[in-house]
Every structure is written in structure tokens, then in C-alpha cells.
Structure 1
Amino acid sequence: MVLSLKIFIFFLFVGASFAATTIKLKSQVYTNKENIYLSDIAVVSSDNSKFKEFLENLYITDFPQDIFSKRITKKQIKDILEANYINTSEISIVGSYCTIKRSINKLTPEKIKDDVQSFLLRRYPDIEVVSISVPRIRSIQRKNLRIKIKERSKTSSYIYLTYFVYNGNFLLRRISVPVKYKKISYVVFSVVDIRKGEYITREKISLKKYTGNTRHLFTSLEEILGKKAKINIKADIPIKDYMIVPDYLVQRGSNVKIIYNKGIIHIELIGRALENGQLNQIIKVKNISSGKVIPCKVIGRNQVLFIGGSF
């Protein structure tokens, strides 16, 4: 396919004087098109009419309706030409860039809301818009309407925007648009019913979209994996911190095996845990033989390692 395209271009333009070909970029253009071609943003001149037509119909970029401005640089044009197997060393490209701007013929409150929604979706993908307050305005109709949206400030529940309306480069209106929103978070939900005392395993939980207050909730699965349900937890609800407890390998008040290792000396004896302890946690343990309280590290279920002090 690539070889065929190269051969086609060779025979189409063989003998053409590319030195007589000039691409002059327009400084800016207004359009409602969604697909931009070279003829939309530049004036092409060439001694070879077929080559000129080929260049004018080169696809440059997309220009979605929710995008209001886009810049195409000289380098981008050069890269597109080379991607189409055209020797750019023999083509003169005049101008540094062309700015494409969305041409709006009629402005209504509905249009403002749509523009604001698109603006926020690109800028803040992690929010959910609750309401967009647009004041009553008469519809504005001009040949080259264009808009610009600027954020003034943002709180935990509101974003305050200014919506500028231009006719060409002349400012027609400045409209204040407050937007109420909710922040989207992903928190840990139960997938199934979890009974009191059951361990929290990966198949029982998942992350889901949540727009409420995230206080007391968990934002990663790793935070609660391996812990136990303190109460019965129903399926499909956000899991809160008071619903679970750590899986203590050592329970306060339980008898534990104290291990003492120093060089070739290895001693095991019984102690009583004075604190709950998770893996690798340092807790206080009472040596039943001596009555002393000693620091120990939890190394297993009801097993601790003596780490220092008087034994």
C-alpha cells in the first residue's frame, strides 16, 4: 500500500518544479468544520496544477465542535507533507503558524451551557456538574462570533467562570457563569454481603465512582485488604472505617510465645500481650516468668520476638 502510494505520487508529479511551490499559512481562520484541510488554513500556489490540487486536499487535523481554538505550526505542516512522501526541501512554507477558531453564528443560553460543559469536561474530568447558571440574555447573531471561557475562582462546590463573546476581535459581552459541581472520587465498595468477623479479600470489594463526602471512606483496596469486618456489611455500599478492624495477629490479653535470639542462644517462653499487634508492629508483652514488661515485635500468629531491654 505504501509502495503503491509512492509510485502514484511519483508519476503524478514527475517533472514538476517543486521549487515553484509555495504554501502561505493564514494567520487565523474562522470555521465550523470538524475536519481541516490545507486549503482551509493556507494559500497554495504551484506551477503544477495537479500538485497544487493534491496539496490543497491534504488532511491536516480534526477540529471538534467543543474546541474553540487550535494552532497549526509550520513544523506540523512540514511533518504532514513528509508523511505523504513529499520532499519539503523544495517547497517554501511561509508563516510560523495558523490559528483556527470556531465560528459561531448564533449565541443562546443553551449554547453557553454546552460550551461550559465541554470546557469543564476537558479541564476537570473528575467532577460532576450539578447545575450551570446562565443569566437571561437575548440571542446574539453575528457573522464571526467567537467565545473564550476563563475561570475566575473555584471552591469545594462552585466554579466561577467568565464567558467572553467576541465579534472578530471586538468584545461584545462578558457573562458571569457560576457552576455548581460535585467532586467524583473512587472509593471502596462491598461487592457481596460480608459477615462480622470475615476477612476482607479482593473478591469481596471493588472501587466505584462516588460523589459524596469521602470522610471515613477508603480510596484504595490495599488499605483494607486482610482486615476483618467489625459488623455485618451489606453488599454494594461504601465501606467506612468503623465497619472494619485490623487483623491483629496478637490480641490484647492473649498468651503469646516470646522468642529470644542472640547468637547461638535461643529461648522460647510464654508471655501475655498487653496490646493488640499487627505484623511487624512493636507491642508491650509481659514476661510471665519474671513479671517484667518487655518490647516485642509481632512476627506471626501469637508469636513475638524480643527486641531489647531487660528480659
Structure 2
Amino acid sequence: MSQDSHAPIEDKLKSAIQWIPTLREEIGRVIVGQHYLVDRLLVGLLANGHVLLEGVPGLAKTLSIRTLATATAADFKRIQFTPDLLPADIIGTLIYSPKENTFHTRKGPIFANLILADEINRAPAKVQSALLEAMQEHQVTIGDETYPLPEPFLVLATENPIDQEGTYPLPEAQVDRFMLKLKVGYPSKADERAILDRMSSTAPNLNVNAVTTLTAISEARTLVNEVYVDPKIRDYIVDLILATRDPATYNLKLGQYIQFGASPRATISLTLAAKAWALMQGRAYVIPQDIKEIGMDVLRHRVIPSYEAEAEEITSEDLVSSIFDAVPVP
């Protein structure tokens, strides 16, 4: 299929994502720089994928998510994860009424469109696991009843680097449910100066206007499915995932450094994220550069380094980069 044949579809896609530049601009009124972070949040929004943000405190992770929720007019709930948090504090619980001699369901903050799980790794594993059913099935079970969550439903979580005091590692089953894991770094010198000029006030202006609707986002999500992925690109995605499990097949001497490779969920996530990224570029088809652009964010938390890799200070990012360098591009 030629690229010219996508022209009618691209016209329809471009009209459906006209809100994206406006949304970027509105978020930029509060968030200085962090274009990488904002663009990946938009990928998660379009591809219906949860996003995990890792970075030291003070990098506007929480503020970015709160600003995104306000600018999209989404029903937003913030959950502060602490060591004494209970699963019922997130999903809800049954409350007994002595007067009526019955139990009533009290729904938790999980019942919203955008959930900010703030400092998610400051709570123990049993609390983090309360999100598993919600993230995968978009539903919550309280007692004997199962309740659907509102659509769209997205978990945007922040975490501190694991070596910081008072943090718990996230269970692998939960980490795999995040489509993207972002590493948020320090701003540049120019951005730091802009932050100083804008925020060094006892009452900085953080007002944000709603510039799009959940309906427009849902329509754009539907169009993500129409983005074309050539069979050669699909094979390239599968080769990348298989290379994380069996590196020797791709002439990579990384077997001793990889404890676990990426799951089939990674294959799906990489495809959807690449389609969303192509859509954001105004294209109705995926190119290999889209895979490379978004691939690290999809795979860095799914390729688990072995003890040998940790001993030699080889990170998951190093392993993923080696795989991208070795697997032939179509």
C-alpha cells in the first residue's frame, strides 16, 4: 500500500487531532519544558495505556498530570500512596448499616477518568496490587459485586527512584500493566531560568482552561485503530520483542544479562504506542522511526536485568539500546 493511498485517511486524522497542539500549548502555560513528558502522556491518552513516571522529587510530575486532567475536562482523582494505605482506601469497601441490617458499597477514588497514583512505590505491594484488576480489566470487585470503571480510564503514576529511602519495588505484574515508563530528568539551564521567573512567587499562576473534551479524545482513540502498520513493520516489532527473550537468535551476547524478556503485552503496547505516535505526527501509517522513538519507553520496564548485569552496572536501557542496534530495520 502506497503512502499516497493514505491521504484521505490522513485528512480525517488531522481533523480529529486538532486539539493536540492546543492542549500542548495550554499545558505549556504551567509546565516549563518537559516536552518529552507531555508528548508521552498524550501517547498514553490516545493509545489507552497507563503511564508510569519515574524521577526525583520536584520535577513537576504530579503537576503535569494534574494540568493534563484539567485541560481535558476529565474526572480526576489523586491518591497519595503511603505505607499505611489500605486496598479499600483505593477501590472502596462494604459498609455495614445496623439500622437496615445490610451492607452498602462505598466506592473509592479509583472511580474516575484520570487517576494520579502519586508516589506509588511508597506503599507496600498489597496496596499496589489493588490496582491490578482496575488497570487490566477496567473494573473493580468489591465484595461479591463487580463494578465497571468510567471510560476513558487511565492510571498515571509517579514513583521515586527505587534507591530512595522509604520506597518499595513495584510487583512485576503491575509494572507490566503500564504501557509506558518515563524517566523524567532535570530541566535545561534555559528551562530552569524560565521556571524561576514563572514560579518564584508565593502564589504562582497555575490556572488552566479545558481546551478539549473526553468525547474528542475518545474519537481520536478510535482513529488510532485506522493507522496502518505494514506487515514488515509488524515483523520488526515481533523481532524486537523476541530479541529480549532469546538474544542469541539475533547474534546478541546478552543472554546472561537478561533475567526476563518482554511479554506479549509489550508487543501489543509497542504497536499501539507507535500508532498513536504516528497519529500525533499527522501520519496514517507507522514508520520504523516511530518504533525507535517510542520503543525505549515501552520496553525499559519490561526487560529485567539479571544479577550479572547489575554487578556490571548494565541497565535495562543499555540492554534495550543494544537490541535496537542489532535488530535489522525493514
* TM-score calculated relative to the size of structure 1: 0.20
Larger relative contact order, structure 1 or 2 (CA cutoff 8 Å, min sep 6): 2
If you compute each CA radius of gyration, which structure gives the higher value, 1 or 2? 1
Larger helix share, 1 or 2: 2
Larger strand share, 1 or 2: 1
